């Protein structure tokens, strides 16, 4: 229990360090550019809200806020931002004017530094590698009886080449995956191009959306299929049922009580039929074949599956180039924003994550084996996202400052300060409201993950 508590605190510290690194580097870009271009800098803040720590050095107040959601550099000559940054210490009309070009440079420096950090992290990933499933294919391993895919005629063993006319490379992860293309589809049916027994055929499947509670994110389209996952052991939890039976990371289950197993989904029926009994697992371990005996627990009233204490799916380290990683991250973000803006898409703002959701995901990543490698790869995506989202031409964001500076340059005179204050304050309130909206669903995910199994199955 003591060591579990230490592990929890250590992971929390890792999450805070890496999450705040992304914020600090972004804001450092604004800070250094403002100093370079001669603008007045009043504050350098990590997080918003009432400061829980602050110190003034060289006329700049460095502070840590109480609301863990981003940060800011207070530069009164850039734009009125009192709604987020607090009252300015200097009267704006008494400060020297700033050229539009200087404003653009200062505003663009944050996203530029975020892209630089993304590239730096991508270089590290390129060297150390990131884990990827050993069997990362688009082959169907499971089709739910009575589900839309089963009714359409999809079968286990079908290799999916394209979904909704778009080619796919993975089954679950990324925006070039089977899962994403199903979610992103907009028609009444979803065409699947599959390779079956050497023949390429097209199958049109209907889709369904499960019911969710009002406090959970809206459900997305699914056809109720799963990938072929070889029953390889990626990680064994210490002290678990699998650990006591002798399972090791890297094992591959080949049979149970003599029944051959080729896909993880094939294990379920055999396990359910032998609850409360001893079973013998045939395991391929390197060049050896070993037998492991396990006493399965009795079936539970809520039909909960056996918790073996195994993270299924063996992984290998891949080494994508930095440019490939940054390009893939940018492509994913553009596709997600495109889905959000499409009127016919099921993807809504509620499906995005705020700071709470991102930190929770980091925590889950660090819990996994090779978690630090996965966290680095994930941070490339987050940094590119931070850069591109901040470049949107929305007041309060960096792209908004750039847009206002361009307008000022075209007009050849500054925009009325009073108008700027009203626009910036209104947009700041909208941004805060949006963050609270996302946080509501982020918290719903946390609460939902702790609900009883029977409740989650409803």
- Lowest mean pLDDT, pick from 100-109, 111-120, 311-320, 344-353: 311-320
What tokens were used for 189?
A: 């049916």
Q: What is the pLDDT of residues 122-180, one digit of tens each?
A: 999 999 999 887 777 899 988 988 999 999 999 988 999 999 999 999 998 889 999 99
SS3 at position 367: helix
CATH number at residue 272: 2.30.42.10
Domain assignment of residue 431, yes or no: yes
Of residues 236 and 303, the one with the higher pLDDT is: 236
Domain assignment of residue 366, yes or no: no
Phi then psi for 157, rounded to 5 degrees?
Answer: 100, -20
Confidence bin at 218 (pLDDT 50/70/90): confident
Q: Are residues 16 and 104 in the same domain?
A: yes
How many structural domains comprise the chain? 3
CA-CA distance, 195 to 427, in Å (whole number)? 50
Number of C-beta neighbours around residue 396 at 10 A: 23
pLDDT at residue 405, rounded to an integer: 92
Domain assignment of residue 347, yes or no: yes
pLDDT at residue 395, rounded to an integer: 86
Read off the pLDDT of each residue in 168-194 and give the average, rounded to a whole number. 94
Q: Are residues 169 and 221 in the same domain?
A: yes
pLDDT at residue 453, rounded to an integer: 37
Confidence bin at 457 (pLDDT 50/70/90): very low
Confidence bin at 97 (pLDDT 50/70/90): confident
Q: What percent of the chain has pLDDT over 90?
A: 48
Q: Are residues 170 and 299 in the same domain?
A: no
Q: Are residues 136 and 17 in the same domain?
A: no
- Lowest mean pLDDT, pick from 16-25, 182-191, 382-391: 16-25
Inter-axis angle of helices 322-341 and 100-128, nearest 10:
120
Return the residue matching tokens 């596709």.
335
pLDDT at residue 80, rounded to an integer: 66
Domain assignment of residue 416, yes or no: yes
Confidence bin at 88 (pLDDT 50/70/90): low
pLDDT at residue 83, rounded to an integer: 55
Kindly give, in sequence order, each residue whose CB lies less than 8 Å from that of residue 13, ignoring residues fewer than 6 positions away.
none
Q: Are residues 416 and 332 in the same domain?
A: no
> Where does a domain end: 292, 312, 332?
312
67 in Cβ contact with 85 (< 8 Å)? no
Q: Are residues 154 and 240 in the same domain?
A: no
pLDDT at 96 over 90: no
Q: What is the pLDDT of residues 319-332, one digit of tens each?
A: 999 999 999 999 99
SS3 at position 149: helix
Kindly give, in sequence order, each residue whose CB lies less than 8 Å from that of residue 120, ignoring residues fewer than 6 positions away.
none
Q: Are residues 300 and 330 in the same domain?
A: no
pLDDT at residue 12, rounded to an integer: 80
Q: Are residues 16 and 160 in the same domain?
A: no
pLDDT at 118 over 60: yes
N residues, the chain: 458
Domain assignment of residue 374, yes or no: no
Q: Are residues 104 and 9 in the same domain?
A: yes
pLDDT at 318 over 70: yes
Which range marks the domain in which residue 250 is found? 233-312
Domain assignment of residue 78, yes or no: yes
pLDDT at 433 over 80: yes
Q: What percent of the chain has pLDDT over 70?
A: 93
pLDDT at 353 over 70: yes
Quick one: residue 357, left, alpha or beta (phi over 0 = left, psi -120 to 50 = alpha)?
alpha
pLDDT at residue 370, rounded to an integer: 79
Mean pLDDT of the chain, nearest integer: 87
155 in Cβ contact with 196 (< 8 Å)? yes
Domain assignment of residue 370, yes or no: no
Read off the pLDDT of each residue in 267-281 and give the average, rounded to a whole number. 90
Sheet with strand 259-260: strands edge to edge: 259-260, 252-256, 278-285, 288-295
> Where does a domain end: 304, 337, 353?
353
Of residues 456 and 81, the one with the higher pLDDT is: 81
pLDDT at 422 over 80: yes
pLDDT at 18 over 60: yes
Q: Are residues 208 and 154 in the same domain?
A: yes
pLDDT at residue 419, rounded to an integer: 83
| Top mean-pLDDT range of 39-48, 101-110, 354-363, 394-403 | 101-110
Q: What is the pLDDT of residues 395-416, one digit of tens each?
A: 889 999 999 999 999 988 888 8
Q: Are residues 118 and 79 in the same domain?
A: yes
Read off the pLDDT of each residue in 187-205 and give the average, rounded to a whole number. 95
pLDDT at 456 over 60: no
């Amino acid at each position: 229990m003591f060591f579990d508590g230490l592990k929890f605190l250590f992971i929390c510290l890792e999450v805070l360090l890496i999450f705040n690194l992304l914020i600090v580097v972004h804001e450092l870009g604004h800070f250094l550019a403002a100093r370079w271009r001669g603008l007045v800098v009043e504050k350098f803040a990590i997080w918003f809200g009432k400061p829980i720590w602050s110190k003034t050095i060289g006329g700049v107040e460095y502070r840590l806020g109480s609301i863990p959601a981003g940060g800011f550099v207070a530069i009164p000559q850039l734009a009125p931002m009192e709604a987020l940054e607090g009252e300015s210490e200097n009267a704006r009309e008494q400060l020297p004017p700033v050229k539009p070009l200087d404003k653009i440079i200062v505003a663009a420096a944050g996203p530029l530094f975020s892209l630089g950090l993304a590239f730096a992290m991508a270089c590290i990933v390129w060297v150390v590698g990131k884990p990827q499933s050993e069997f990362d294919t688009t082959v169907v391993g499971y089709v739910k009886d009575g589900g839309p895919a089963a009714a359409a005629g999809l079968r286990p063993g079908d290799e999916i080449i394209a979904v909704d006319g778009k080619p796919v490379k993975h089954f679950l992860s990324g925006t070039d995956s089977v899962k994403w293309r199903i979610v992103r589809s907009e028609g009444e049916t979803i065409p699947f191009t599959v390779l079956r027994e050497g023949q390429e055929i097209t199958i049109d499947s209907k889709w369904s959306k499960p019911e969710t509670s009002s406090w959970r994110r809206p459900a997305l389209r699914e056809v109720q299929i799963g990938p072929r996952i070889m029953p390889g052991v990626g990680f064994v939890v210490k002290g678990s049922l699998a650990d006591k039976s002798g399972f090791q990371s890297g094992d591959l289950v080949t049979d149970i009580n003599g029944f051959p197993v080729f896909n993880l989904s094939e294990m379920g029926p055999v396990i359910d039929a032998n609850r409360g009994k001893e079973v013998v697992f045939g395991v391929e371990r390197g060049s050896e074949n070993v037998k492991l005996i396990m006493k399965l627990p009795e079936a539970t009233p809520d039909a909960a599956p056996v918790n073996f204490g195994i993270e299924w799916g063996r992984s290998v380290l891949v080494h994508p180039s930095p440019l490939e990683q940054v390009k893939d991250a940018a492509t994913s973000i553009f596709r997600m924003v495109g889905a959000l803006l499409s009127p016919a898409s099921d993807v809504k703002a509620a499906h995005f994550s705020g700071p709470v959701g991102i930190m929770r995901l980091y925590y889950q990543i660090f819990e996994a084996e090779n978690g630090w490698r996965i966290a680095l790869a994930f941070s490339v995506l987050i940094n590119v996202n931070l850069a591109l989202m901040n470049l949107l031409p929305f007041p309060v964001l960096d792209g908004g400052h750039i847009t206002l500076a361009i307008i000022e340059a075209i007009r050849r005179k500054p925009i009325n300060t009073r108008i700027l204050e009203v626009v910036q304050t209104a947009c700041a309130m909208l941004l805060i409201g949006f963050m609270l909206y996302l946080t509501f669903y982020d918290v719903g995910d946390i609460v939902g993950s702790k609900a009883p199994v029977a409740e989650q199955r409803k």
